[in-house]
Amino acid sequence: MDTLEKLIQEHLNKDAQAKTRRHFIKNCAGGLGGLALSSIFMGCDPLGKSKTASARTFSERDLNPLATLAPPFSPKVKSVIYLHMAGAPSQLEMFDYKPVLHKFHGQDCPQSLLEGRKFAFIKGTPKLMGPQAEFAQEGESGNWVSNFLPHFKQVVDEVAFLKAVHTDQFNHGPAQLFMHTGSARLGRPSIGAWATYGLGSENQNLPGFVVLTSGGNTPDAGKSVWGSGFLPSVYQGVQCRSKGDPVLYIEDPDGISRDLKKSTIDAINKINKEEYAKYGDPEILARINQYEMAYRMQIAVPEVMNINDEPEHIKQMYGVEPGEESFANNCLLARKLVEEGVRFVQLFDWGWDTHGNIREGSIDMGLRNKCTQIDRPITALILDLKQRGLLEDTLIVWGGEFGRTPMQENRGNKEMEFKGRDHHGDAFTMWMAGGGIKKGASHGETDDIGFAGVEGRVSVHDVHATILHLLGFDHEQLTFDFQGRPFRLTDVEGEIIREILA
Amino acid sequence: MKNKLSTGIFVLAGIVVVGFLWNVLEPKDQVDFSTQIKPILNKNCISCHGGVKKNAGFSLLFEEEALGDTESGKPAIIPGDASGSELIRRLKETDPELRMPYEKAKLSDEEIDLLTRWIDQGAEWGEHWAYSLPERVDLPPMAEEAGFVADDVPNFVKTDLDHFVLARLEGEQLRPNPPAEKNVIARRVALDLTGLPPEKSLFEAYTTGQISYGSMVDSLLSKETYGEKWASWWLDMARYSDTKGYEKDQGRSIHQYRDWVIRALNQDMPYDQFTMEQLAGDLLPDPSMDQLIATAFHRNTMNNDEGGTDDEEYRVASVIDRVNTTFEVWQSTTIGCVQCHGHPYDPFRHEEYYKLMAFFNNTRDEDIPSESPVLKFYSPEQQLQVDKVNDWVAEHGNKKTAESYRNFLRYTQPVYNAHLLNDFKNGAYDDHASSVLWDDGSCVLENVSTQGASAMYMKYNSHFDGTTMTVRENNAEGEILARFTLNRSKGSKTAKIPFKKINRSTDLFITANNDGIQKEINAINIYWIGFIPDIPGQDKAGYSQISKAFVDALNTQTETVPVMAENPEHMKRTTQVFERGNWLVTTDTVEPKTPGTLNPWDANWPKDRLGLSKWLVSKKNPLTARTLVNRVWHQIFGQGLVSTVEDIGSQSEPPSHPALLDWLSLRLMNEHQWSIKALVREVVMSGTYRQGSETRPELYQKDPKNRLYARGPRIRLSAEQIRDQALAVSGLLSSKMYGPGVMPPQPDGVWQTVYSAAKWVESEGEDRYRRGVYTYMKRTSTYPSFLTFDAGSREVCSIRRTVTNTPLQALVTLNDPVYLEASYGLANAMNVSENPEENIALGYERATYSKITPLKLKALKELYENSLSEFESNEENTPFFHLQRTPSAKLAALAVVANAILNLDEFLTKA
């Protein structure tokens, strides 16, 4: 058995880097403070007192698939917070100001724009609809922001806008999949899965890829927008919830104290060690490690998911509603999670599908409400990360799965009760902020009515290439072999959007 | 005698082996394209000179392209003249702008030398091993007299299969492990064959020597739990799910297909039949209900009900999925690449994809919410009425008409679905399921074959009394073909409407009028319109009852399952090549045809799905049997003989034991007549399988992944097995089979699908404890603990589950109420003695089928005592686990111990 240990260690030593020590110490220090589950070859032993001095190398990838890996290039950011407005927000009422569209309000949409085109619900000849919000130029950058977002102007100089993003999908499910996995069909890994596969996580007591949802529903495309596709399932997003267990099965059952759980895991691991002595299968060592991590996670997750202990001014800044599942809460949680070293935090806020068929789903009322719900929390998130010095290590991405038409929706060829816009993939706005991003930039421009990009058009693959670039990857090199060929997030496309890089 | 014979064979074979080695070592000998040249080309050249990119007009995928003229006007390879060949010149070039591979490392001298010799020898093109199958494979020679292996051989070799493994081990100077202990192999084989630990009686019969290993295996193979276990494997590939997928992810009634798979596996339906029924059961002569249910294999494609989606786009997506899945499941080939361009590395051409698609592109399903065609399951009383109609038509009409009625009664097709209605005035194709007309509304249904019938059938929902409907030929001025009044129907209904006989295809102009309702208010929803040749025997007594029975049957609500049904001649689709895979840009029209690289087509086969399935299970197909062998091997050993189980082709790993793969494949077809059980038996009877799974240091060093099989398999159990096993050892497992998916407890709030009222309604009684294969499978929100243990979400075909090892898995088996309940069940079963050690030892043995060791007993006893003292000191009657009652401190402490046992690596693993 000794020979075997030596063997495995030799194999693993090759990968052992200085960085191991960093997260290793973090695990111990940030974790339980001396949980005495360590064995002869496991656990926290930063001083090297145990008899096998290089024991820590067992926490590398073979034993822990989320062990930190350095990216191939120098990264601009360590973590990503991706804010997805599920249902697709209207760029025309938020950031893409089109005064000319005002002038044409109520007129028939030109046939040239409709010929050979398919829309999700628009039939026949719809009418153009002017912006339903007031716009002003804000900050030193002078970028346009609507009055639906009164707080956001405080941080407008922190972000870089992409005004002419386009997608070829105009139904929610496929478009969300495309936005998060680079393919409109199911089966590909999401961006967060790629990031954790490539980089592991900085904090071994928390999942590396956390998903938070608000708005009462998961996204239309379901959980596959944070799935791992053909990557090992350990890289899929872990949904953390504000109600019930923050992570499924994280809480001990009734009658089991922490001490008793510790005794349980102690007994399991003692027996597993004997099993390892008999079978020599390194998977057993990995399992021992996972049980120790699970125990630590049981403390770390509820701790990080608890926003009650945050100072009052921080709670007010975000506008949190403790106990509820809200976007504001999720923004505050996102900050706490990246602070703790979580690699990828994905927020989905549902309810942005403003067709005008119902009040909540209307441009003039529903959209305004949704904007109010996100305005303060997003502003707070940027300011809070900044004041903590975390913004430069974090990338924030904001967007939907597509944009909305400059035309008013006329579902079923009828005039509808409320003002609405149909799905539109030709041009929509996204923005990024944080490390490596050119502050106050605005890239891309749409035509006078905001129908299509006329300059600086960027694709979903370009957005992905840029995110991976900021994390320290060449998007063409981050691949996974499956079905006989290497797959990548950007398929065979993608150009880094250099115009918004600092 | 036997020894002498073997020795003789060995000497002979020795000469062959020496001869082979000589061939390899002799430098000037013939270079083999498939094993020596193709790998170099695939690794270094094919990404720029292959099926996708053909830089400089040069591609190395097909012989004629490789040897043909390039853009320069000259060929790059001149057979027999390496020094005159541009290919070699470029490889040796010193100018980095000209040297190949461009901007990559130079090929090694050995590689260039091989390529040079290959060209000088005539650049003979060879076929990749995967695309031809040898006619016979001989057993490798026995190695009894060869050195150190000899001692272990008598223990190791149990069947012919072992000779292949031993030959390789001998080559690598490795000795196999001794056989596993009886208790270990009994648990292993029971888990592999039935997914469950062995029943006590069988276990004891074998371990005490009352029955042989072979009898135990036969007993396990005959259990119905066998089909339940292996069904999970097949259902992953079939992408079986109880929901439709995509946005709303509504429920789908298709469990009849899952049950069909379990039954077929238990009956050991030969794989060729198993294949034909699933791909083309509807095209078999006079298909049975079961054969139609089998075709639901390809109705497991997703169905998109999202508002605003184009049914045709998603119908095409389903057809494409069927092509891709068929090739993944039967041919280990990722044909999907060829959808957009020639295959990057396997010899399949762009248009060949669409020729394959033409086999699948002619079914009636059109991505509508009802999922029609759906097969109806009438009650026995209803079936009597249905039979009367069928008998009448058979008696009075011809065979074709009889078939039309039989099919229409079974699955209500062919009909024209509502999305085909267009040119609306005061109406719209509205809610994705039906078209609506308002007062003074009209629409057109184009190019309709009325079958010369005197009746039109229509499924509709009429919301008011007194709506006049008129159907005219061609347009508003056309001849009236039908005029009728609809009253409020209180829900949807199917009606028979008198219709003027015409014998031609025509457009139907349909209007609705009702003065009594306001503008833009739905007068009527139309779901479909259909025509079927008239019921014969109109002049015979009893006709009117039959006519009524027919309409009644159409209106009968039953359980259903989606099935495949072919378009009739007048609705047949043509298939066109999509330019770069874009379904909106079509080019050449193609006919069904199989790829040229694979086995030839027999002219007697029909050019439809049935013919295609016959082609797949032809003994000449090089991939079908190998694929099945490789995957069955993978299920048992945790890895394939070809390690890329999804892919057997030019980019796959070479097989670890090529001759064994072929030998097993030929035996499967020729000796076992495609019996899956016989194949499984062949593998588990081998000495290779029956070895102990312990790793020795020198063995681990040499073969960490056990590719050489000097030890038995040691693999974590699957998601379903982990759950089933916990329920089994705790005495909770229900043996109830079949039926709709069940919903064991899962945390609140896990289901949050948009626009869906579907709820997870916790099952009651024994349905809470059914085997995992019966758990309700929702695509957008898979049962959480299964997802955590690497089960997929079944959206697309999945050939293997990647096994991971994560802390979230520990949380499931430690804290999920299912496992807590199982722990409590096990604790009750353990609680037989006043001596806690006896109880602990009993529980451990019950779960792991091993005697407890002193160290393990000590660890669990400590846990027991810690728990007991904590529970005893706790005066209050606190709730325990998720139980309604508070158990005694002793029982609670045993439950904590049981919980630990259910979390042991040895419990979660098949060793």
pLDDT tens track for A59-92: 366 667 888 889 999 999 999 999 999 999 999 9
| Span A468-490, pLDDT tens digits | 999 999 999 999 887 767 889 99
What is the rounded CA–CA span in Å between residue B129 and residue B659?
11
The reply to whether B76 and B188 lie within a common domain is no
Residues A235/A229, Cβ–Cβ less than 8 Å: no
* Average pLDDT for B65-78: 85
Inside any domain, residue B524: yes
CB contact under 8 A, A280 and B697: yes
pLDDT of residue B147 exceeding 70, the answer is no
pLDDT of residue A4 exceeding 60, the answer is no
What is the rounded CA–CA span in Å between residue B257 and residue B254?
6
pLDDT of residue B704 exceeding 90, the answer is no
Q: In which band, very low, low, confident or very high, does the pLDDT at A398 lie, cut at 50, 70 and 90?
A: very high
Q: Which residues are CB-neighbours of B190 under 8 A, at least 6 positions away?
A: B196, B197, B198, B202, B203, B220
Neighboring chain B residues of A249 at a CB cutoff of 8 Å: 747, 784-785, 808, 811-812, 814-816
Cis omega (within 30 of 0) for bond into B592:
no
Neighboring chain A residues of B788 at a CB cutoff of 8 Å: 233, 248
CB contact under 8 A, A293 and B804: no
Q: What's B803's DSSP letter?
A: P
| Span B231-250, pLDDT tens digits | 999 999 999 999 998 878 88
Using alpha carbons, select from B703, B562, B831, B867 the residue that is nearest to residue A260.
B867
Q: Which residues are CB-neighbours of B122 under 8 A, at least 6 positions away?
A: B79, B80
* Average pLDDT for A376-404: 97
| Span B774-789, pLDDT tens digits | 999 998 888 999 988 9
Chain A: closest CA distance from residue B303 (Å) = 12
| Span A47-64, pLDDT tens digits | 333 333 233 233 366 667
Count how many Cα atoms sit within 13 Å of the Cα of residue B846 in the half-sphere of its side chain: 26
Residues B636/B217, Cβ–Cβ less than 8 Å: no
Using alpha carbons, select from B447, B432, B436 the residue that is nearest to residue B311.
B432
pLDDT of residue A14 exceeding 50, the answer is no
CATH architecture of A79-243+323-500: 3-Layer(aba) Sandwich (3.40)
**Strand-strand pairing, A442-443 and A159-166:** parallel
| Span B109-136, pLDDT tens digits | 888 888 999 899 888 887 788 888 888 9
Nearest to A222 among B304, B701, B780 (CB): B780
* Average pLDDT for A379-402: 97
The pLDDT score that the predictor gives to residue B299 is: 98
Neighboring chain A residues of B308 at a CB cutoff of 8 Å: 119-121, 170-171, 423
Inside any domain, residue B641: no
User: What backbone torsions phi and psi does residue B462 show, to the nearest 5 degrees?
Assistant: -100, 130
What is the rounded CA–CA span in Å between residue B362 and residue B608?
9
List the structure tokens of B214.
Answer: 């072979």
List the structure tokens of B540.
Answer: 């015979």
What is the rounded CA–CA span in Å between residue A161 and residue B827?
61
The pLDDT score that the predictor gives to residue B297 is: 98
Asked which of B528, B556, B584 is the last residue of a domain, the reply is: B556
CB contact under 8 A, A221 and B780: yes
The reply to whether B11 and B149 lie within a common domain is yes
Chain B: closest CA distance from residue A27 (Å) = 14
What number of other Cβ atoms are within 10 A of residue B102's Cβ?
Answer: 11
What is the SS3 string spanning B629-651?
Answer: HHHHHHHHHCCCCCCCCCCCCCC
> Among B1-10, B55-64, B453-462, B504-513, which stretch is predicted with the lowest mean pLDDT?
B1-10
Nearest to A7 among B700, B816, B880 (CB): B700
What is the rounded CA–CA span in Å between residue B608 and residue B602?
13
The reply to whether B118 and B41 lie within a common domain is yes
Inside any domain, residue B393: no
The reply to whether B160 and B81 lie within a common domain is no
Q: Which residues are CB-neighbours of B8 under 8 A, at least 6 positions away?
A: none
CA closest to B889 among chain A residues? A255
Q: Where are the beta strands (DSSP E) in A251-401?
A: 344-350, 394-399
Rg of chain B (C-alpha set): 33
Chain B: closest CA distance from residue A69 (Å) = 17
Four-residue CA torsion sign, A51, A54, A56, A57? negative
Inside any domain, residue B464: yes
Nearest to B695 among A280, A414, A484 (CB): A280
Neighboring chain A residues of B871 at a CB cutoff of 8 Å: 255
Chain B: closest CA distance from residue A461 (Å) = 18
Q: What's B670's DSSP letter?
A: I
Tell me the β-bridge partners of B88.
Answer: none
Q: In which band, very low, low, confident or very high, does the pLDDT at B540 lie, cut at 50, 70 and 90?
A: very high
Neighboring chain A residues of B310 at a CB cutoff of 8 Å: 118
Domain carrying residue B191:
182-222
What is the rounded CA–CA span in Å between residue A488 and residue A371?
34
Q: Domain residues of chain A, as ranges?
A: 2-60+253-301, 79-243+323-500
pLDDT of residue A98 exceeding 90, the answer is yes
User: In this predicted model, which residue has the larger pLDDT, B39 or B411?
Assistant: B411
Q: What's B567's DSSP letter?
A: P
Residue A209's identity, in one-letter code, is F
pLDDT of residue A46 exceeding 60, the answer is no
What is the rounded CA–CA span in Å between residue B700 and residue B746?
40
Q: Where are the beta strands (DSSP E) in B74-114?
A: none
Using alpha carbons, select from B805, B696, B900, B726 the residue that is nearest to residue A270.
B900
Mutate to test the interface with B, among A32, A268, A416 (most CBs of B within 10 A): A268
CB contact under 8 A, B806 and A234: yes
Neighboring chain B residues of A210 at a CB cutoff of 8 Å: none
Using alpha carbons, select from B783, B657, B768, B787 the residue that is nearest to residue B710.
B657
> Among A110-114, B473-477, B728-732, which stretch is predicted with the lowest mean pLDDT?
A110-114
| Span B576-588, pLDDT tens digits | 988 877 788 888 9
The reply to whether B189 and B59 lie within a common domain is no
The reply to whether B147 and B214 lie within a common domain is no
User: Distances from the Cα of A23 to the Cαs of A20, A201, B810, in angstroms?
Assistant: 6, 9, 22
* Average pLDDT for B412-430: 93
The mean pLDDT of chain B is: 90
In terms of Cβ atoms closer than 10 Å to its own Cβ (0-12, 13-18, 19+), residue B154 is exposed
The reply to whether B430 and B518 lie within a common domain is yes
pLDDT of residue A110 exceeding 50, the answer is yes
Neighboring chain A residues of B796 at a CB cutoff of 8 Å: 185-187
Chain A: closest CA distance from residue B98 (Å) = 24
pLDDT of residue A330 exceeding 50, the answer is yes
pLDDT of residue B214 exceeding 90, the answer is yes
The reply to whether B535 and B423 lie within a common domain is yes
Asked which of B191, B222, B253 is the last residue of a domain, the reply is: B222
CB contact under 8 A, B714 and A238: no
What is the rounded CA–CA span in Å between residue B344 and residue B332?
16
The size of the A-B interface in CB pairs under 8 A is: 253
The pLDDT score that the predictor gives to residue A43 is: 34
Chain B: closest CA distance from residue A327 (Å) = 16
The reply to whether B68 and B147 lie within a common domain is no
Tell me the β-bridge partners of A480.
Answer: A487
* Average pLDDT for B438-458: 96
CB contact under 8 A, A218 and B780: yes
Type and span of the H or E element at B692? none
Residues B245/B254, Cβ–Cβ less than 8 Å: no
CB contact under 8 A, A253 and B793: no
Mutate to test the interface with A, among B311, B886, B905, B906 (most CBs of A within 10 A): B905
* Average pLDDT for B630-653: 91
Q: In which band, very low, low, confident or very high, does the pLDDT at A11 lie, cut at 50, 70 and 90?
A: very low
Chain B: closest CA distance from residue A385 (Å) = 29
Q: In which band, very low, low, confident or very high, does the pLDDT at A103 lie, cut at 50, 70 and 90?
A: very high
What is the rounded CA–CA span in Å between residue B778 and residue B781?
5
* Average pLDDT for A149-171: 95
Using alpha carbons, select from A339, A334, A502, A372 the residue that is nearest to residue A432.
A502
CB contact under 8 A, A224 and B780: yes
What is the rounded CA–CA span in Å between residue B361 and residue A77?
48
The reply to whether B148 and B16 lie within a common domain is yes
Inside any domain, residue B851: yes
The reply to whether B6 and B38 lie within a common domain is no
Count how many Cα atoms sit within 13 Å of the Cα of residue B306 in the half-sphere of its side chain: 26
The reply to whether B121 and B166 lie within a common domain is no
The pLDDT score that the predictor gives to residue B336 is: 76
User: Distances from the Cα of A366 to the Cαs of A132, A361, A422, B270, B455, in angstroms?
Assistant: 12, 5, 14, 59, 50
The pLDDT score that the predictor gives to residue A161 is: 98
DSSP string, B387-440: HHHHHHHHHHS-HHHHHHHHHHHHH--S-EEGGG-EEEEEEEE-SSS-EEEEEE
Asked which of B162, B194, B222 is the last residue of a domain, the reply is: B222
